[in-house]
Amino acid sequence: MIPGIHRPAAVRVDLGAVKQNIEQEIKHLEPGQKLFAVVKANAYGHGAVQVAKTAVSAGAAGFCVAILDEALELRRAGIVQPILVLGVTPAKYAALAAVNGVSLTVPDVEWLKKAAEQLTGTGLQLKIHLAIDSGMGRIGFSTDDEFIAANDLLLDSDTFVVEGLFTHFASADSSNDTYFKSQVARFNHFQSLLKVHPKWIHLDNTAASVFNKKIHSDLVRFGIGIYGLNPSSNPASADLATAIKLKPALSFESELVQVHLIHQGQGVGYGSTYVADGDQLIGTVPVGYADGFIRKFQGFKIKVGTEFCPIVGRICMDQLMVRLPHKMPVGTKVVLISNNLAEPNNIKAAADYVDTIHYEVACLLDDRLPRIYDN
């Protein structure tokens, strides 16, 4: 995807906010804990390489990504800290990961056997983290027998370096901690079966840390908090209070490219879902659902100059229209998503409007939108 540098639209990222969020979290860590910055999905839409470099300067000890290609991107950019791929990587790429010093997740004993075959005769050692399915129902060991079998295999192998044992919580962002505690107990059970000795035992994600769940974890996998967003955010309830102050880093900006007058009875957009009830000024903004600003945002108010104006008519693939309260010049700044939580078009408000979470809103912003970095 080629960024649209000849179009007045971009995602702006405040790297000063990113650094501040990480520094605040590092101060909040328990003694001896380290922070691994989660920069998967292009750093939740913020730009993986730039965020990773900022994270290093802020004191991050390592990184987590979702797929091997994201890890390799960081290595090509000169990131030398440990990198863990949290998702399942096909075992046939074990040697590629080993050559690049990237740690892979082990989901089951069959994966371990296949990876061992790929590494036989190469002289390479692969760093691994054993995943436990403690209640997400996603990936990881879920039976005692299989986990013990994997431990036995690893005891007799010099092919693998057991770097970590981890799980992921389904509800650390909830005020009801019943299920959370059941996951901790299940993880502790698997930990009691260990025969190998991982360097790091890690359970803490952003939510478990900033909501002070007080569990033993050598690492905190700090994800959504890097970007200044509350991990408990969802449309159905108020955000929980965090132990650290988070500063949103992302805004989405454009400008008016045309302003024109329409008259009573004239429609706007595909299907004419909006029809003017009198003379109205309509402004056109050159972004649409192909940029990740989905059609459900119809009706959402975005900031045009100093005014908050509703999106009218269906959002098109590459353009959207707003109803203006008065004549505004072409080139007037438009803020579709604000990094100011006090403004009604902040990312939490945007996510609530389309009945989703801010993670999704940020990740949907397409690479066609250039990223501009401040501070």
C-alpha span between 191 and 197 (Å, rounded): 10
C-alpha span between 127 and 148 (Å, rounded): 19
Catalytic annotation, pick one of 19, 40, 127, 348: 40
Q: Are 13 and 198 in contact (CB under 8 A)?
A: no
Active site residue 93: no
Q: Which residues contact 38 (CB under 8 A, 6 or more apart)?
A: 63, 64, 65, 86, 206, 221, 222, 223, 226
Catalytic annotation, pick one of 92, 181, 214, 270: 270
Q: Dig out the tokens for 86 from the structure.
A: 């949290």
C-alpha span between 82 and 103 (Å, rounded): 8
Q: Which residues contact 316 (CB under 8 A, 6 or more apart)?
A: 269, 270, 288, 289
Active site residue 40: yes
Q: What is the 3-state secondary structure (H, E, C) of 38-73?
A: ECHHHHHCCCHHHHHHHHHHHCCCEEEECCHHHHHH
Element (H, E) at 21: helix 15-28
What is the distance of C-alpha 143 from the center of its chain?
30
C-alpha span between 365 and 356 (Å, rounded): 14
Element (H, E) at 98: helix 94-99
Catalytic residues: 40, 270
